[in-house]
Amino acid sequence: MSGGSASFTNAAQILRPPADGLPKLRGPQVPAQSLVPGGLTVRDGLIEALEPDPAGDLIIDASGCALVPGLIDCHTHLPFAGWRAGEYDEKVRGVPYEEISGSGGGIAASARALRDSPDDAVLAQAAGLAREMLAAGTTTFECKSGYGLSRHGELRALRLAQQLKRRVPATTTSTGLLAHAVPEGYSADGWMDEVEAMLPDVLALGSVSALDIFVESIAFSNTHLRRMGELAAGAGLALRCHVEQFATHRSVPVALSVGARSVDHLARIHPDDIGPLGAAQCAAVLLPGAEFLGAESRAPARELLAAGAILVLATDANPGTSPVFSLPLVIGLAVRLYGLSPREALAAVTLNAAWTLGLESDRGSIEPGKRADLVLFDTPVDQIAYRFGRNPVAITFIGGEPAYVREDQGWRLSGR
Ligand code: NIG
Ligand code: FE
């Protein structure tokens, strides 16, 4: 907000970290988050004080509501083109993802769709999805390339992500998922040579903050993961990775040895890898939408939490494994499938997700000096998962400004 102030009054719950200045929450810090009634003042787009200011330019009546940090979706595959509903139909009748992928579906199908879609159509679809995400409380999200499957295609996908950033009110980050599937005509090794060769062009875009790779029998191996980690380190980028989704490959120790910022999926993580991950400076990003819709194995979230892991939840929004864009829905799945508490689930879509994207210094928790990206739920937080599938978001604020107001919630705003 430019030069104005906003005052939140009478919230039933405000989610606060156990202390200010924490970069992420793990172990006993997670249950130590508090949910206290009260208010908040925002000035010039930042949280100024943990009490309301009756002289605020904008007054927000938060009675009965929970006020939490804007939700952060640190793993999405936006922007992409079209959908793959036909594959879902096959999947629910028992056809495995590997088989769908082997017969020209999966990532290759989305790559064809992207290649054949004009920029405007891709951006219009992604911007529409970003609007849905805003209405579900997402104020920051990650974009991945990965459906380019050629040097030209990957660079185009990364440029489309740059253009999307200018079209949406949310903050976006950009990850080069440069090794997602082995493009036709290449061996996996040969494609990694191409990745290395295109890296200067990727860096020249100036927008990419992380590299990513899919390790699976149908994609790349741990050797390629190590190489991607070395490329990321050499370029000063974070390493993210899709690992242990369909089968156990023992990719976690490899990812840790090359300093990965996160290991994502983990439905088939080896039990011996839970302890080291729990002690590492590496987030465990769980994607229950993909697990549920793909009838995948279930990531051992409670064991990871007990080991001290930096637990994160994300949508994995993509046209194949997880056409899911709502973090409240992901919270609902995670609470039921993993047995999470509301505080565990909320830390996983706020501060810990911010840390995964390297944005924890200015967002992800309600504390003075941070951005006033906030979500007002119209219920206490324990109803988010319980009233499964219902969108509890009343108002989403970006930089202190209402960026989404549900049609029956405008009465909460006054004073302008
Ligand atoms: O995160 N696992 C690899 N990549 C995506 C799926 C991509 C697709 O099916 O289009 C995922 O699940
Ligand atoms: Fe993914």
Find the length of the chain.
416
Report the predicted TM-score, pTM, of the whole model to 2 decimal places: 0.98
pLDDT score of 1 more than 70: no
**Distance from residue 263's CA to the centre of ligand 2 (Å):** 11
Buried b / exposed e along 110-146 (16+ C-beta atoms within 10 A): bbebbeebeeeebbebbeebbbebbbbbbbbbbbbbb
Q: Provide the 3-class DSSP secondary structure of residue 404.
A: strand
**Distance from residue 276's CA to the centre of ligand 1 (Å):** 25
The amino acid at residue 296 is E
Summary mean pLDDT of the chain: 97
The pLDDT tens digits for 238-294 are: 999 999 999 999 999 999 999 999 999 999 999 999 999 999 999 999 999 999 999
Rounded to 5°, angle at Cα 124 from 351 and 202: 60
Q: What residue's CA is closest to ligand 1, atom 3? A: 214
Range 18-23, long-range pairs (CB < 8 A, 24+ positions): 20/365, 20/367, 20/368, 21/367, 22/351, 22/365, 23/351, 23/355, 23/360, 23/361
Mean pLDDT of 60-67: 98
Mean pLDDT of 151-178: 98
- List residues near ligand 1 (CB under 6 A): 106-107, 110, 214, 242, 245, 290, 316, 318-322
Nearest ligand for residue 296 CA: 1
**Distance from residue 12's CA to the centre of ligand 2 (Å):** 35
Place of tokens 């949910």: 35
Ligand 1 site-directed mutation target among 80, 175, 240, 242, most atoms within 8 Å of CB: 242
Q: What residue's CA is closest to ligand 1, atom 12? A: 321
The pLDDT tens digits for 76-126 are: 999 999 999 999 999 999 999 999 999 999 999 999 999 999 999 999 999
Q: For each of the domains in the chain, give its residue range(s) and CATH number, in order of start.
A: 5-69+365-414 (2.30.40.10), 72-356 (3.20.20.140)
| Token code pair at residue 338 | 């993993």
- The band of 307, judged by pLDDT with boundaries at 50, 70 and 90, is very high
**Distance from residue 149's CA to the centre of ligand 1 (Å):** 13
For residue 3, the model assigns a pLDDT of 65
